[in-house]
Amino acid sequence: MIDIEYIHDAEAADIAAFLADLLSGELANTDGDIAISVPGGSTPFPIFEELAKVDLAWPRLAIWPGDDRIVPENHPASNTGKIRALFEPLGAKVVTLTQQDDTPHFALVWLGMGADGHIASLFPNTDPAPGDDQVLRRLTPDPLPPEAPFDRITLTMPSLLDTDRLMFVIRGDEKRAVFDAGVAGEHDLPIARLLGARGDTKVICFT
């Protein structure tokens, strides 16, 4: 069984406070920049909005979307565009995945998870592997989610696992059941593959 720190009944402000404390500590412990990876979708943005109110050394922070829909950044479906609009005015650097040949070691990789067990845009049909030799992949989900029927660009499992800690925000009983089954190794969905390859990386799950 994977050892996970669960924090239950967390509101957006609670998660933002956790992130602010974490980032403040990481920035204080180094003179250099730090990098984090964050998800898109509906759940993170209320948390982002709370976090953006915090006084951090934003210019020393690089924010990597874990994945994005392959659309222009001014398209409503672009995660990168919305993340950039929120954090770049504060001084943070928001990375465009299609322009990167390498990925950093992350202080934090924050992931969501779909009801089908996908993480980032590593959907079950894409057969993601911890031993992938690429840092980014362009993928087509099958089936295409009707709310966002676009090809995706995503960090691969090795990129996501190159981190000090993994964080999840899992909302709803259906997703929690899939997540818990992945923790227990009861299926082979992408979430289970990622957690099974995490080594000693700390895992935090807000519910």
pLDDT at 41: 85
* pLDDT tens string 170-190: 999 999 999 999 999 999 999
* pLDDT tens string 38-91: 999 889 999 999 999 999 999 999 999 999 999 999 999 999 999 999 999 999
What's the half-sphere exposure (Cβ side, CA atoms, 13 Å) at 103?
30
Cα–Cα distance between 83 and 40 in angstroms, integer?
8
First to last CA, the chain: 19
Give the DSSP H or E segment for 69. strand 67-69
Neighbours of 113 (CB within 10 A): 24
Fold of 5-206: Rossmann fold (3.40.50)
Identify the CA nearest to 188 among candidates 132, 118, 131. Answer: 118
Task: Name, in order, each residue with C-beta under 8 angstroms of 146's C-beta and a sequence gap of 6 or more.
Answer: none
Phi, psi of 138, deg, nearest 5: -95, 130
Identify the CA nearest to 22 among candidates 171, 154, 131, 167. Answer: 167
